[in-house]
Structure 1
Amino acid sequence: MSNGEWHGAWSAALDELELDVSTVELMLADEHRHAETPPASLWKPPTELGALPLELKPRADEILTRQLKAAEEIARRMTATKQQMTMTTKIETGEAVKRPVYVDRAM
């Protein structure tokens, strides 16, 4: 594989990875869209390309930063959803509001 082909193949791989993270970012920005269109397929890293060209490292680092930020937001939302589900269950069973029961003996 020539140097130009190697660089081009890595650029194409990064394009695909960047498209995936952009899709996740859009879904996080629009929760209704996420519910309607879950992610289709997972990105698989290329195995035949060898090492990443040095000049593409800043772009790969930026994509990784975006992926980590998106993963952090997904984890935060999952935790919030779990807490909300727990509270909903308590409300439905009456456990969320424990009221003391008083008996008026004066009457």
Structure 2
Amino acid sequence: MSAQPAGAGDWHAAWSAALDSLEMDVTAAEELLAGDHRDRELRLTDAWSPPENLGPLPLDLRPRADAILARQLATAQAIAMAMIGNRRQAAMLARVESGNDGGQRPVYVNCAA
């Protein structure tokens, strides 16, 4: 078994911590979409920025990083679809509340018989 170069454990731990942070963020977004947020307060999160001087991703962490990326992409698509659904629902509600379906409304009603 070969000895690891000095700092190799720190490098691996730094990447693991960075992936932990990304995974927590995507989990929070997935919970938000699932409706789990209705029962509890949501904490505000800071925008993620990669730690400085990480170097290349260790090869053994690649599958985890790929899985997190796939979850991020799926969550982003689900958020976009939820936004579209919300816009449609708001537009429908606006029409119901105003009674305006977009067509012309009569100016008067002829009651003469």
Separation in 1, partners of 2:86, 2:40: 14
Match of residue 55, structure 1, among 56, 60, 77: 60
**Could you list the runs of 5+ residues in structure 2 that have no partner in the other structure?**
1-5
TM-score, normalising length from structure 2? 0.77
Q: Does 1:42 align with 2:44?
A: no
Q: TM-score, normalised by structure 1?
A: 0.81
How large is the RMSD of aligned CA atoms in angstroms?
2.6
- Between the aligned partners of 1:92 and 1:15, the Cα distance in structure 2 is 46
The answer as to 2:91 corresponding to 1:86 is yes
Q: Give the match for residue 18 of structure 1.
A: 23
Matched letter for residue 76 of structure 1: M
Give the aligned residue type for 1:29. Answer: A
Stretch moving more, 77-86 or 42-51 = 42-51
The structure-2 alpha-carbon separation of the partners of 1:39 and 1:76, relative to structure 1 and needing over 3 Å to count, comes to farther
- Between the two proteins, what is the percent identity of the paired residues? 43
Q: In proportion to residue count, which structure has more helix?
A: 1
Choose the corresponding residue for 2:33, options 10, 28, 32.
Answer: 28
Shift of 1:98: 5.3
Instruction: Tell me the matched-pair count.
Output: 106
Matched with 1:75 is: 80
